[in-house]
Structure 1
Amino acid sequence: MSDDTTTGPPDPGGVWVVTVWADRDYHDQVLARRAGEDTAAAGEFPSDLPPREVRLIAEETRIGRAGDPKGDDLPEIDLGGPPRDPGVSHLHAVLMALPRDRWVVIDAGSTNGTTLNYAEAPLTPDTPVALRSGDRIHVGAWTTLTVERR
């Protein structure tokens, strides 16, 4: 299933695409970090959730889950489900385009943090981190977003 978010013409040098998927390895890492704690907050892993793709064309792409029933604050990458990743904040992270076809990820002060490429330490909130094609952004309890330049 493709969620093709476009707001302008594709970059002649290529298109950046985010693949959103339920990552069993990341979920296991989250559970291991919470050993001895209540792991129910990590939720049950959704083994039948198909990956979806989002083209990054806008200068800013918000990652989170919808909170306003009227839909006024919908993030461009909505992780509200179903199934809903229980560890994702309303505004969890932001992808921002920089000149020369580069992207950064910024943790937006999320409750559970954002990590990159299975790192243990979360990103510092409100601090841009440069992305390379193939990087994996981890949010919530089991969601991974792989960014690729195609």
Structure 2
Amino acid sequence: GQPGPGQGPGGGYGYPQPGQPRQATWTATVGPDRAYFMAMMQRSGPEAAGLNLPAYSPEQQLTLTGPQVTIGRRRHSTGDTPDVDLSVPPEDPGVSHQHAVLVEQADGSWAVIDQNSTNGTTVNGAEEPIQPFVPVPLRDGDRVHVGAWTTITVRRG
């Protein structure tokens, strides 16, 4: 059992195999976004007048792992907690309990699907929300906007 020429220890495991590209790792950074908040306030009705951008909120960083990553707020009655829980202080009041999901695609990339949320989901600062239940493919650096001030920036590692 000596490894053959060109084979690493362990029979080549842990090394990229020819014709099998390593899936890229995607990460998401979640945090308040002042520019998105200001634009959202200009479009909103009087019910948004009392909202204030939190003075400080630490960004959450997570690695996207398939098949999906749920975005929303914890439901206190059932204890259901989404993967990205925006009910932690400062709670984003514009986020639905089941707001959106990030879904891994066959090629290893990701798409966002709005779950028919109350306030909608936008991508890259667009004014029009995406259609509910329709996957929108994401590229490296795309920004997914949910709630009153939350932006989720996806990066391909």
Match of 2:49, SS? helix
Larger displacement relative to structure 2 (44-53 or 111-120): 44-53
CA distance in 1, matches of 2:65, 2:78: 25
Q: Percent identity?
A: 46
Check if 1:77 corresponds to 2:84: yes
CA distance in 2, matches of 1:47, 1:25: 14
- 1:60 paired residue number: 68
Please list every run of 5 or more consecutive structure 2 residues that lacks an aligned counterpart in the other structure: 1-20
Q: Determine which of 34, 39, 44 is the counterpart of 1:29.
A: 39
CA distance in 1, matches of 2:28, 2:83: 11
- 2:9 paired residue number: none
1:41-52 alignment runs, 5 A limit: 43-52=51-60
Please tell me whether Structure 1 or Structure 2 has the larger radius of gyration of its CA atoms.
2
The count of aligned residue pairs is: 137
CA deviation string 1:78-135 (max 9, x = no partner): 0002010010000000000011211110000000000000000000001110000100
One-letter amino acid of the counterpart of residue 44, structure 2: R
One-letter amino acid of the counterpart of residue 145, structure 1: I
- 1:138 paired residue number: 145
Check if 1:86 corresponds to 2:96: no
4+ long deviations beyond 3 Å: none
Q: Judge conservation of contact 1:22–1:47 (CA < 8 Å) in 2.
A: no
One-letter amino acid of the counterpart of residue 111, structure 2: V
Q: TM-score, normalised by structure 1?
A: 0.86
Q: Judge conservation of contact 1:87–1:141 (CA < 8 Å) in 2.
A: yes
Q: TM-score, normalised by structure 2?
A: 0.82
- 1:4 paired residue number: none
The answer to which structure, 1 or 2, has the higher relative contact order (CA under 8 A, 6+ apart) is: 1
